[in-house]
Amino acid sequence: MASAPRHIIVIGASAGGVEALTRLVRDLAPDMGAALFVTLHFPPDSTSALARILNRAGKLSAAHAADGQQIEEGKIYLARPDHHLLIFRDHVRLYRGPRENGNRPAVDPMFRSAAIAYGPRVIGVVLSGNLDDGTSGLLAIKRRGGTAVVQDPEDAMFPAMPQSAIEHVAVDHVVKLDQLAELLNELAKRPPAREDIVASDDARKEIEFAELDLGRIEDAADHPGVLAPFGCPDCGGTLWELREGDLVRFRCRVGHAWTSEALLASQSETLDAALWTALRALEENAALSQQLSSRARRRGNDRLADRFADNAELAMRRAGTIRDVLLQETKPRHEREEEAEAATGGIRLRAAAREQMSGDDD
């Protein structure tokens, strides 16, 4: 009979995560006395080869988790593409619940569920990745008495995820990747702490969102947080604002969740798509107006031709403005700053020249 683990180690990563996980499992002790759970961001329609990669790299057995699977010591359970991996007492569940920060699987639901189920026995680890998935979940782990471990951002291929965790969570250990396995081997040998810390109601509600508990979701009065003046990028619904210390997050009626950074990134993508759509519409409008102007002029209706020509010119000017904005964003920031400085410098020179001329007139 498989033995229950002393500790639960939950690991979250995104960009650069495969390389980091491969190096980590290489030095993990097969008798470390813990069960490990990994969420790595995958596209929803992808096929994950992570289990095969980790099995070749280390001595612990790695496999994609199955719904309802029992938790055993010495195993690595991997989140499947397009499913959140949630941890309960003695077993795991897979859910196609609402995306968090645009991701499914997402790190935060796994971290929160582990914190509620195992409290001080949880060791949360945030590795390389973009934006800030994992920060909220790591806060939940700390509030239940667990241990927070973060890869040194200077050592990470993509430092944003570990940097966000350090900025918002009272992290216990910040280590380079080469030292991480040794630390986890040591932490896993410690006796488990007493589990007498109660999870907050908001943390439990968020697990119900991740499970897509329709009874909870449809009870609008029971939402955690307060109404925010933003729409959800995934469904357009109203967002509720949740504050965890300095960390601000948002969740909509059906459960989509966003950190401030992820919400801003998604809004930027939406704005970019809208600008390209506007550019296309204006250029098509200009082309059609030019055609109509030519037809009217061939029929001798110069007044109508001039009106269509004016409309084409206006549409092209507007399209040119939008095109300049879109192309400007593709330039490196230092180039944009240099151009802005040059432009403002030119304005200052022209203003100085006008002042000089005014003085000469006096």
pLDDT, mean of residues 173-189 = 96
pLDDT of residue 254: 81
For 95, the token pair is 């859910």
Q: Which of 23, 44, 60, 14 is nearest to 261 (CA)?
A: 14
Mean pLDDT value of segment 329-350: 50
Identify the residue with better confidence: 339 or 58.
58
Catalytic residue IDs: 14, 41, 133
pLDDT of residue 344: 44
Average pLDDT, the chain: 85
pLDDT at residue 126 above 90? Answer: yes
Q: What is the pLDDT of residue 325?
A: 85
pTM: 0.76
Q: Which of 81-85, 126-130, 306-310, 330-334 has the weakest average pLDDT?
A: 330-334
Q: How far apart are CA 126 and CA 144, in angstroms?
A: 17
What is the percentage of the chain residues whose pLDDT exceeds 70? 81
pLDDT reading at 276 higher than 80: yes
- Average pLDDT on 280-292 reads 94
